Amino acid sequence: MTDFIAQARAILKTNDRGGYTVPTDRLYPFQWNWDSAFVAMGFAAYDVPRAYRELERLAEGQWADGMIPHIVFHAPSDSYFPGPDVWRTSHTIATSGITQPPVFGMALKRVHDAAVDSGLVNATERSAPLFEAALCWHRWWYAARDPEQTGLVALLHPWESGSDNSPAWDIALARVPTTTETAVVRKDTGHVDQAMRPRDEDYRRFIHLVDTYAACGWDPERQWKAAPFKIAEVQTTAILLRSGEELERLAVMLGRTEEAAELRQMNTLSRKALLAQWRPHLRRFVSRDLISEEDVEAPTQAGFIPLLALDLEPAILDAACAEMESWASGLAVAFPSTPQAFAGFEAKRYWRGPVWGVINWLLIAGLRRNGRVDLAEGLRAATVQVVERQGFAEYFDPLTGEGCGGLDFSWTAAAYIEFTRKAA
């Protein structure tokens, strides 16, 4: 009988680069922000000191203004574009100039709890500086990405969502020019079938945005004014709120009363704002395009991630769950990043249809929070089964269950550890 837990742990060990974990060899040779947060939660199940180290290495890349970048370039590699020379940031450690969904707070609370449960004597000592890093990052989110204090934080680049080529960005991204000052020399399609990756046109727009913000000196106020792409996003806000709740609990545990109150204020603001993004006729939550001042109605998994951070009233919960079930119906594996019935659906192209283990992780947590244990368990079991059939792929074709993208993927291994831990 195959020991899949041993395989998952072996993948994390293989992808270890000295206290930080790359998502997979060659395709992603650096430390990615939300990948590492999920990985830290995977490590927490069996190696708490290593889990702490994952977060500590990520925090090494934190900027003076509090932002934790989406990539930390700890060591050079020529297998990825865009590298440090394209980002043109100026920090002690080379990093990208944008951020990613703040799973960090959720991860830190999980790691701290595991440390306490395991009797680790220096749990508070290890957690305290990471709490400071997380709090500073949350302050950055509300200052830099919600300057009008709406409670919804905005993204200035599709990469910040983690869902790079999602149909949610099609309309807004089409307004971004394809002209760039930077030669676009893609490396990803040398490692993975180009049919599974964003298009060349997408990349030119992505790099145009990088050029735009680099010209602003990566100053948040200047970027906000110059941004041709600006989406107040429900998935990122929901993750921020859930992490904020976890940090608020951790602040109480650490005796940080004032910081707990500050986090509570942030969380209250975002909770109210997220609830206001529910659209009954769509049976999901929607993001907001701050340039066109219109709802982002393209159907994606982001519309259900608010379950992670909200305690929904029965009518809203029932409607959201019914919509989720309709998306999952007839698929080899759920949950799709966009529904099969949508015109923009592509079963194998990155965030335009495929199933992602970490998105299922967030959805399962949201369903459990809201008492829908039946749907949560079905999604958990299906994710475990597809990994055991297809391996620890980056993502999966929802129509066939085929593993796609990078192989031996760290966050899929972490998700498997999480899902089997819950089952135990």
Q: Which residues contact 68 (CB under 8 A, 6 or more apart)?
A: 33, 58, 59, 61, 62, 99, 102, 104, 133, 137
Q: Which residues contact 318 (CB under 8 A, 6 or more apart)?
A: none
HSE-CB of 267 using CA atoms within 13 angstroms: 20
Phi, psi of 173 (to 5 degrees): -70, -30
Q: How far apart are CA 370 and CA 219, in angstroms?
A: 39
What 8-state DSSP symbol labels residue 108? H
Decide: 11 and 415 in contact? Cβ < 8 Å: no
> Would you state the structure tokens that stand for residue 155, as one six-digit string?
């993204």
Q: How far apart are CA 270 and CA 150, in angstroms?
A: 8
Helix (H, G, I), strand (E, B) or coil at 72: strand
Burial 377-405 (b: 16+ CB within 10 A, else e): ebbbebbbebbeebbbbbbbbbbebbbbb
Helix (H, G, I), strand (E, B) or coil at 24: strand
Q: How far apart are the first and last CA of the chain?
A: 18
∠ CA 257-262-264, rounded to 5°: 95
| Residues that are catalytic | 164, 394
Q: How far apart are CA 412 and CA 415, in angstroms?
A: 5
What 8-state DSSP symbol labels residue 150? -
Q: Which amino acid is at 217?
A: G
Q: How far apart are CA 161 and CA 218, in angstroms?
A: 18
Q: How far apart are CA 67 and CA 140, in angstroms?
A: 6
* C-alpha radius of gyration, the chain, whole number: 20
Helix (H, G, I), strand (E, B) or coil at 62: coil
Q: How far apart are CA 88 and CA 60, in angstroms?
A: 18
